[in-house]
Amino acid sequence: MHIQVLAQSITEVVSDIAIIPVFENEGAELGSNAAVFDKTMDNKILSLIQDGEIQGKFAQTTVIHNFERANVKKTLLVGAGKRNELTGSKIRQLAAVALQNCRKCRAQKVAVAIEDFAAPPQLEQAKAAQAWVEGAILGSYTFEDYKSTVDDQAVTPEEMVILAPVAAGESLRKSVLWAQKYAEATNFARDLVNQPGNAMTPGIMADRAMRVAERNGLQVHLLEREDMEREGMGALLAVAQGSTQPPKLIVLKYVGDPRAETIAFIGKGVTFDSGGISIKPTEGMGEMKTDMAGGAAVIGALKAISELKPKVNVLGIIPATENMPAGNALKPGDIVRSLSGKTIEIITTDAEGRLILADAIIYAKQLGAGKLIDVATLTGACVIALGTVASGVVTNNQSWCQAVLAAADQADERMWQLPNFPEYKEQIKGVLADLKNSGGKHAGSITAGLFLSEFAADTPWVHIDIAGTASTEKPHGCPVKGATGVAVRTLIQVALNAE
């Protein structure tokens, strides 16, 4: 979608749809742009409000056909709720709802006066514009790669015009650019996660990462099985040994300032997780293609970071493998040696993500990372604890964690810090080895995170468990059904804030 910012009135722009907000309980009051626009339509909007047909309730929509107006064919009225309750997060939702309606109307060009959405005094126009553009791009996302026929009754708009006063200036244009990059990177990650397992193997995932690197000027390095054996990545190799698909360790690097500290983003890349010998139930196993969502988030984030060019250094590390049962697969009771030298007793082969991340964390430190963030669909226990609303967070460094949580808040992604009391570590102490790869069902998301903390050691580290937030069955605004691209925007924001 092409997006441009114009310092014009909504009455002056030729478009298929003009999007107008209507606030709840405000009677005949309209925003300045909406009021001017309504006058050219013989006060149709006010008439509908006065008749009670339009009440301004949040996300309520009404389409008006402007047959007599050649420059604007239709008007989409979007209920914005109560004026003093409108936030950036809600603007994202409204934009998603609006663009989904525009798709149904087959609109090619849409126009919105962002000044009317930035009505509450606490909302800056630039932030409102960023939220709107993100919501519009995220909400109009579709994945139809494998459909022989597509819905020709719905067409994503080709152009969106953001109308703003001249005074809004460059800050608004910059916000719109950032929003495009954020949302497009999120949709890129969604595309990766939505692919079926036979079309997103470790090798294919590595190819997609290399293409991103080539197009965006990222450094890229790929470790094959032989390289991992030479390095001593026994934990990652143990998970991979049951699959006919060779594992890949993908390393991307963005250098924005050679003198600056390097931050590592580490993403779990299990392209299909059967559970291995500890095989999962048949029901829902098809969804285990999404177990590489953390890796997809890292690739998507590096894509946007390379385009926005902050003065930071970012490593992206994705251990990619399948977790499959076979005669040579990892077994419960086996003991493996990680890259750090620590040994791990295998309690269940379905706790494989922490094994591959353990080696990736050590490798990131060897490459010079001074701060770490790992992103993984790690535990069903996190879904039990937080549902599908928030991602779980575990850390060994509170100030670094606060920086990540602040970035998540800016990116409108909900994350919640879990405790890391030392008593929890007792659950993962090994009997025959240094560690166990599972501490049992109690506090499972916490003990999984603390397992990884053993490899982060003293390096500031934050673990983000996205098991409950990586995909959704129920569309609601920006997240349409399928992959959500969660954590992409947070990782981008972390990099921008670190400048």
Strands 72-81 and 2-6: unpaired
**Three-class SS string for 397-441?**
CHHHHHHHHHHHHHCCCCEEECCCCHHHHHHHECCCCCEECCCCC
CB atoms within 10 A of CB 3: 18
Strands 262-267 and 313-323: parallel
Burial degree of 372 (CB within 10 A; 0-12, 13-18, 19+): buried
CB contact at 8 A, 99 and 19? no
Contacts of 443-447 spanning 24+ positions with Cβ under 8 A: 443/381, 444/379, 444/380, 444/381, 444/382, 445/378, 445/379, 445/381, 445/382, 445/385, 445/392, 445/394, 445/418, 446/394, 446/418, 446/419, 446/420
Which residues are known catalytic residues? 280, 354
Q: Return the structure tokens found at 243.
A: 């699959």
CB contact at 8 A, 48 and 65? no
Strands 2-6 and 159-163: parallel
